[in-house]
Amino acid sequence: MEFTKGHGTGNDFVILPDPDGVLDLTPELVAAICDRRRGLGGDGVLRVVRAAKHPDGADLAGEAEWFMDYWNSDGSFAEMCGNGARVFVRYLVETGLVAPAVGDALPVATRAGLVRARIEGDDIAVEMRRPRLYAASAAALGGLTLPGTAVDVGNPHLVCPVPAGLDLAGLDLTRAPEVDPAVFPSGANVEFTAGGAPTAGVDAHVLMRVYERGSAETLSCGTGACAVAAVALRDADRETGTVAVDVPGGRLTVTVTNDSCWLSGPALLVATGQLILPTRRP
């Protein structure tokens, strides 16, 4: 199987070209590919398939040629992945599957609906739905209970500010935070945040760590950055604005408008090759 490896601010993915949707992906195979010791390693798999050839993308085939079939590293599906979408677009452009000019909007079909992307020099930005803040909740982590805000960005998030005196870098994210199943019946990505130093050109600056549902702690999460930005703007009594979100893998810039949210940052392809599929044993 041919593959490409890419990442967006350290959020890394194995990209599998499958234009006609013929690969027999299973949760077990995806987990094996993403295994960092026995496979290629990654936070998830991005299968590149024509929207018309995938049942989850067929309804959007009239608006977008390509469907981002995203799987978490444990083999589960995710509705959306902001960094994954940016890496997906980088792959489409670098391989010549699309040829958009700088600034042109490129539509991509996802399980969360249609997203648009544009090339901004070395960065790629994707436009997603405007984050919706819908409930107060909390995360339990290592004996701590951290209040937060539930946010819908096409997938579920819980944004928990770390109280003063608690070190964001010192949080133990080796285990999944516990969330309220009444608010998050399918689990959630949980973001832990702290305020950053005043930064020119943005309305807020936030530091973030994240535990991703289905992937454990990752160096970055695009939809998580969008959720964090929306909460930061609310706390600043703003409806719209631009927020710099620093994650362990680098910086993402989020611009929330009246009707959408743009996520911008680097997206890189770092390797190509052939993957030898695991052999099933009796």
pLDDT surpasses 70 at 279: no
Write down the pLDDT at residue 78: 87
- Of 266, 265, 255, nearest to 130 by C-alpha is 255
Active site residue 221: yes
Please check whether residue 117 is in contact with residue 134, taking contact to mean a CB–CB distance below 8 angstroms: no
Instruction: State in words which class domain 132-258 has.
Output: alpha beta
Q: Do domains 2-126+267-274 and 132-258 have the same CATH topology?
A: yes
Interior/surface letters 93-114, b for 16+ CB within 10 angstroms, e for the rest: beeeebeeeeeeebbbbbbbeb
**Which CATH number describes the domain made up of 2-126+267-274?**
3.10.310.10
> What pLDDT digit, counting tens, does each position of 159-184 carry?
999 999 899 999 999 999 999 999 99
How far is 210 from 193, CA to CA, in rounded Å? Answer: 9
Three-class DSSP category at 250? strand
CA quadruple 37, 42, 44, 50: dihedral positive or negative? negative
Q: Kind and range of the H or E element at 232? A: helix 222-235
Write down the pLDDT at residue 281: 44
Q: Please state, rounded to an integer, the average pLDDT across all residues of the chain.
A: 95
Rounded to 5 degrees, φ, ψ at 222 are -70, -50
Query: 26 is written with which tokens?
Result: 């299973």
Among 79-83, 100-104, 105-109, 193-197, where is mean pLDDT lowest? 100-104
- Of 56, 52, 116, 62, nearest to 88 by C-alpha is 116
Sequence-separated (6 or more) residues with CB below 8 Å from residue 271: 4, 5
Instruction: Return the domain boundaries, the chain.
Output: 2-126+267-274, 132-258
Query: 58 is written with which tokens?
Result: 């067929």
> What pLDDT digit, counting tens, does each position of 93-152 carry?
999 999 876 667 899 999 999 999 999 888 999 999 999 999 999 999 999 999 999 999
Among the listed residues 81, 160, 226, 261, the single catalytic one is 81
Among the listed residues 34, 160, 221, 226, the single catalytic one is 221
Write down the pLDDT at residue 50: 98
Please check whether residue 147 is in contact with residue 178, taking contact to mean a CB–CB distance below 8 angstroms: no
Active site residue 34: no
The pTM of this model reads 0.92
